[in-house]
Structure 1
Amino acid sequence: MSIFVWVISGLLCLAYLAAGGFKTFGPDARIYAAFPWAKQVGMASTRIIGALELLGALGLILPVLLGMAQILTPIAALGLVAVQIAAMTFHIQRREFQALPVNVVMLLLAAVIAVLRFLGY
């Protein structure tokens, strides 16, 4: 079970590092091209979302890897669940239903990590 949790955590971490890193540090024009919704919410909000994704990604791996404050890992996973719920709500309001499958998968993976890490795996 532990290997399963590490694989899921690693994959989710990489996905959030990529998405969050791009939203946080990417050039404005490329962000607007990749995420049309960024024009509606503004670049500052988009960068905050990216920073939250980066922090969540690090929280999935570092506490357990370092053996310190390991309760932060399931809390980070729950934070990423909240990010996905907000993203899904936003996309539904904008009728961007094509984005929902990715949001659902990311939400489910984060929820699985949260539950399994709370259980001590």
Structure 2
Amino acid sequence: MNTALWIAAALLAVVALTGGVTKAFVPQVKLAAHPGGAWTGERSAGFVKTLGVLELLAAAGLILPAALGVAPILVPVTAACWVLLMIGAMTTHLRHGEAKFAALNLAYLAVAVFVAWGRA
């Protein structure tokens, strides 16, 4: 079970790191031109960058507390916050008619629920 939880947390951390780097460092115009990124054109650059920074923090919060043995309760807390983020992402993608991205967010949500439950 512990191995499955590490794999799940690592998967979510990679997703969060990728999304965070993209949102924090790629210009908003370029993000809006990519599939699934249309919503970024409707939000302020500061909002998109803030989401990126939060995703970078989530990547760290899913791995570092358990790996270092310092405040490991932060892992399920981070996973629960990721669930909330994925609910917002699904809502946003569905509003833009991007059902395949919403389905992907649902899969990430399910993995986050597993991590939150398993590490609690």
Q: What one-letter code is carried by the residue in structure 1 that aligns with 2:28?
A: D
TM superposition shift of 1:98? 2.6
CA distance in 1, matches of 2:59, 2:83: 12
Q: What one-letter code is carried by the residue in structure 2 that aligns with 1:28?
A: Q
Unaligned runs of 5+ in 1: none
- 1:96 equivalent to 2:98? Answer yes
Conservation of the 8 A alpha-carbon contact between 2:32 and 2:40: yes
TM superposition shift of 1:33? 1.7
Runs (4+) off by over 6 Å: none
TM superposition shift of 1:100? 1.1
CA distance in 1, matches of 2:119, 2:22: 28
- 1:73 equivalent to 2:75? Answer yes
Identity %: 35
TM superposition shift of 1:56? 1.0
How many matched pairs?
118
CA distance in 1, matches of 2:28, 2:78: 27
Q: What one-letter code is carried by the residue in structure 1 that aligns with 2:3?
A: I
TM superposition shift of 1:105? 0.6
The two structures have a TM-score, normalised by structure 2, of 0.91
Superimposed CA distance per residue, residues 92-119 of structure 1 (whole angstroms, 9 cap, x where no aligned partner): 233322311111011001110000000x
CA distance in 1, matches of 2:2, 2:69: 15
RMSD across aligned C-alpha pairs, in angstroms? 1.2
Q: What one-letter code is carried by the residue in structure 2 that aligns with 1:38?
A: T
User: Which residue of structure 1 aligns with residue 21 of structure 2?
Assistant: 21
CA distance in 2, matches of 1:8, 1:70: 16
Q: What one-letter code is carried by the residue in structure 1 that aligns with 2:51?
A: I
CA distance in 1, matches of 2:29, 2:96: 21
TM superposition shift of 1:21? 0.9
Indicate the SS of the match to 2:102: helix
CA distance in 2, matches of 1:107, 1:21: 20
User: Which residue of structure 2 aligns with residue 108 of structure 1?
Assistant: 110
Unaligned runs of 5+ in 2: none
